Amino acid sequence: MRPNDRRYTQTHEWVKPDGETMLVGITDFAVRELSNGNEDDLVYCDLPDAGRTLAAGETFGEIESVKAVSDLNSPVAGEVIETNVNIEEHLEVLAKDPWNAGWMIRLRPERKSLDGLLTAEEYEKFVAAGGH
């Protein structure tokens, strides 16, 4: 079972409340799909600068693996107040610990509610059905 302290999207991002802010990252499923189980296959990640305002569902960055470039989409609306610069240099973090050390951006959310996003249980079912 994936962590139930956060919510998930059908595009395989997660969002986790952290005090007044929220952390956003991508799931183990997304990492595995991109990297084919080989962490060296992740080659590039482009994250936004702090200060950028995002709408829910808006693309905030891009990640490249050896064989695919994919968008990163924000699960909620808010302002980017911090990015995890460690990731851009150490993409292997995403494979090792997508849930904690692999956070990508910290948002000051427009709203506190995460209604409409998938619970861990719902995300499990979505992934079990193929994840598309």
Closest by Cα among 81, 88, 89 to 20: 81
Residue 35 phi, psi (nearest 5): -105, -5
Cα separation, 103 vs 93, in Å, equals 9
69 lies in the site for another protein, by CB under 8 A: yes
**Taking the chain, what is the end-to-end CA distance rounded to the nearest angstrom?**
19
Q: Is 49 in the site for another protein (CB under 8 A)?
A: no
Q: Is there binding between residue 36 and another protein (CB under 8 A)?
A: yes
Write the interaction track for another protein spanning residues 15-34; mark x where CB under 8 A is met and - where it is not. -----------------xxx
Q: Select from 82, 102, 86 the least CA-distant residue to 29.
A: 102
Q: Does 67 bind another protein (CB under 8 A)?
A: yes
Distance CA 66, CA 124 (A): 26
Using the contact rule CB under 8 A, the part of the chain among 19-27, 58-66, 85-93, 94-102 near another protein is 58-66
22 half-sphere exposure, CB direction, 13 A CA radius:
27
Task: Tell me the closest approach of the beta carbon of residue 18 to another protein, in angstroms.
Answer: 27
Q: Does 50 bind another protein (CB under 8 A)?
A: no
Among 3, 4, 50, 68, binds another protein (CB under 8 A): 68
Nearer to another protein, 34 or 80 (CB): 34
- Does residue 55 touch another protein according to CB under 8 A? no
Q: Which helix (H) or strand (E) holds 61?
A: strand 59-65
Q: Which residues bind another protein (CB under 8 A)?
A: 11, 32-34, 36, 43-44, 46, 62, 64-71, 130, 132
